[in-house]
Amino acid sequence: MKTDFRTRLKQAPILCDGAMGTLLDLYEYEELPHEIQNLKNPDIVARIHREYIEAGAEIIETNTFSGNRLRLTQFHLEERIDEINRRGVEIAREAAGDRAYVAGAVGPTGKLLEPIGKLKLSEARETFREQIEILVRAGVDLLILETFVSLQELDEAISAAKEVTDLPIVAQKAFPEDGSILSGSFPIEVVEHLVSRGVDVVGANCTVGPQRMFSIIRNMYKDGVILSAQPAAGIPTLLNGRPVYHTSPEYLAAYAKELVQAGVTLVGACCGSTPSHIRAIRQVLNDMQGKGGMETPSVSVRVAARPAVPSEPAPTVPTYADERSRFARNIGTKFLVSVELDIPRGIDMTSVIEGARYLHGYGVDAINVTDGARARLRMSSIAISYLLQHQVGIEAMTHLATRDRNMIGLQAELLGAHALGLRNILCITGDPTNIGDYPHATSVFDIDSTGLIRAVKSMNEGRDLIGNPIEQRTSFLIACAANPRADDMDNELRKLERKIAAGADIIYTQPIYEMRTLEQFLKRSEQWKKPVMLGILPLRGYKHAEFLHNEIPGMSIPEPIREHLRHAGDRAAQLGVQLAAEFLREAKPLVAGVYLMPPFRKYDIVPRILEQIR
């Protein structure tokens, strides 16, 4: 008869098993998800469990890490969720008998949660609850919630588990391979948060190898907290598309000893590990116990003091106000003018530099630099923005689209932009690639403009998109776009509300042409108390107006204006400037500034309009 698991935790370190997927791949059962082998090849799953038990593991994890409905749906297996998870537990229990505890393995959903992604918190919790109910009914001894990158998602898994059962819960976060994070306060903040949720064991697994895991654990140590650690067997290389790990059993076992001495109670291994690694750890634990290196019966704290961590001076973190752009500081103090310039193909930006220099002489505050507008190939908006600020001395409002880069790339671009002195970011989703130069190119869209706003806001607060600390805060002004002439204004305002909630500081409108539209938009958006930059695109003539109205999504030119231009003849271009100036003169008291989009590189239009409103 096995000792009650919570009692066992207080007696001595307890050894968990190693990787399941790694062994299935080694035995050439590579079909994904690995959980399908519970049904197709239960004998090989049972063999792996027995090998870990024979190597000395006291806990084996069910082959159910990816067994939630959302992950199984990717393989059209969602209707077999009960069968896959139930068989996973049955196989493990048959292999374990009274020799090992069976832990129900629960991994993340594989989806991004709101507000970064589209998965609602309630949907994530229900997804976890469904799987956990199956695992508990099938007879697991405890639950291991593991490899959660998002602390918020781990929270939902914990809540679901507590709603279903009072079984012991091990909650493990996956930390990034980042020394500055691992040696800072973030790990202990995670521990304190998870302890407050009432779980039995708190720890880390996967992502990092033994040495980095030790850095995490020594910064997670807290009196009275039972810790777990399951490092990966180093960082893999790819061989014929398969990850190959290089950390030897002896090396991993040496660090397992360090982990236990640093306060870990539940120790094991993760990706890349095999029964050989677990056997080596078991030998180390046996040697420690035989030499009196472990205290019995109480081991929730197994060392007299936490290993010393070299104290480092706290980094100087600039406040948001210290490094704001001139544009940001001038909001509300003057009427701001930003102008969008046409970006040519290729590498010669002479026309852009000359246009910016010309406009700078007329007191324009910023140049808007688009990011592959209409999915056309153009130079990086960040590179052009840097050239403008460096060569002209005028600030840029840098557009950044989520179409072309994943979440890692977008945040890397933001860090690079800040290092180059760029401080104004207009967050956009971007046009799909199928309308542009490369219709077969991949549109990424990991996140939309709201997710990007949240990423920039997080960086301004000193963290990345999922909450990992960065060394210094950024100081971006965060701009968002809105269309006051959207076909569905209720939906447009709901999107704008999400952008404001995510952290947008200022609103840039799509081009509009009449006071009624502006007044209605301002009335409905006044609740958010955000400054508005009024978008104006001066019309060059009747055909120009017809093209924008009929062929460009989101553009709407009132019929009276189109008719006026149709009858203007040779005066159409002059009339377009006049109409823009008259509209802006009337609108000026209501907005923070104007966002002018002169067509066809007619930059001389800008001073002609500004002269009429000053």
Give the SS3 label for residue 575.
helix
Residue 595 has pLDDT above 80, yes or no: yes
* Per-residue confidence band for 296, with pLDDT thresholds at 50, 70 and 90: very low
Stretch 473-496: mean pLDDT:
95
User: What is the structure's pLDDT at 611?
Assistant: 93
Q: Can you give the three-state secondary structure of 384-412, one letter per residue?
A: HHHHHHHHCCCEEEEEEECCCCCHHHHHH
Contact status, residue 509 vs residue 555, Cβ threshold 8 Å: no
Stretch 377-393: mean pLDDT:
96
* Per-residue confidence band for 176, with pLDDT thresholds at 50, 70 and 90: confident
Q: Closest Cα to residue 531, out of 488, 593, 602? A: 593
User: What is the structure's pLDDT at 295?
Assistant: 45
**% of the chain residues with pLDDT over 90:** 78
Q: Closest Cα to residue 338, out of 351, 347, 348, 325? A: 325
Stretch 589-597: mean pLDDT:
97
| CA end-to-end distance (rounded Å), the chain | 88
Q: Closest Cα to residue 184, out of 311, 324, 348, 32? A: 311
Contact status, residue 546 vs residue 570, Cβ threshold 8 Å: no
Other beta carbons within 10 angstroms of residue 611's beta carbon come to 10
* Per-residue confidence band for 549, with pLDDT thresholds at 50, 70 and 90: confident
Residue 68 has pLDDT above 90, yes or no: yes
Residue 303 has pLDDT above 50, yes or no: no
Q: Quickly list DSSP for 314-342.
A: PPP---TTTT--HHHHHBTTB-EEEEE-P
Least confident of 217-221, 296-300, 434-438: 296-300
Q: Can you give the three-state secondary structure of 165-184, one letter per residue?
A: CCCCEEEEECCCCCHHHHCC
Contact status, residue 543 vs residue 532, Cβ threshold 8 Å: no
* Per-residue confidence band for 304, with pLDDT thresholds at 50, 70 and 90: very low
User: What is the structure's pLDDT at 177?
Assistant: 67
Give the SS3 label for residue 594.
strand
Stretch 465-487: mean pLDDT:
92
Angle at 514 between CA 511 and CA 515, to 5 degrees: 115
User: What is the structure's pLDDT at 245?
Assistant: 86
**% of the chain residues with pLDDT over 70:** 93
C-alpha span between 270 and 266 (Å, rounded): 13
Stretch 396-419: mean pLDDT:
96
User: What is the structure's pLDDT at 316?
Assistant: 36
Alpha-carbon torsion angle 348, 350, 351, 355, nearest 10: 150
Q: Closest Cα to residue 510, out of 455, 552, 545, 477? A: 552
* Per-residue confidence band for 322, with pLDDT thresholds at 50, 70 and 90: low
Stretch 382-394: mean pLDDT:
97
Stretch 131-138: mean pLDDT:
98
User: What is the structure's pLDDT at 469?
Assistant: 87
Residue 318 has pLDDT above 50, yes or no: no
The per-residue pLDDT for range 71-82, each reduced to its tens digit, is 999 999 999 999
Contact status, residue 209 vs residue 232, Cβ threshold 8 Å: yes
Which domains occur in the chain, in start order?
A: 5-290 (3.20.20.330), 326-539+589-602 (3.20.20.220)
Stretch 115-140: mean pLDDT:
95
Stretch 432-442: mean pLDDT:
85
* Per-residue confidence band for 354, with pLDDT thresholds at 50, 70 and 90: very high
C-alpha span between 62 and 330 (Å, rounded): 59
User: What is the structure's pLDDT at 315?
Assistant: 34
* Per-residue confidence band for 307, with pLDDT thresholds at 50, 70 and 90: very low
Mean pLDDT of the chain: 91
User: What is the structure's pLDDT at 600?
Assistant: 87
* Per-residue confidence band for 317, with pLDDT thresholds at 50, 70 and 90: very low
Q: Can you give the three-state secondary structure of 213-271, one letter per residue?
A: HHHHHHCCCCCCCCEEEECCCCCCEEECCEEECCCCHHHHHHHHHHHHHCCEEEECCCC
* Helix or strand holding residue 15 (H, E): strand 14-15
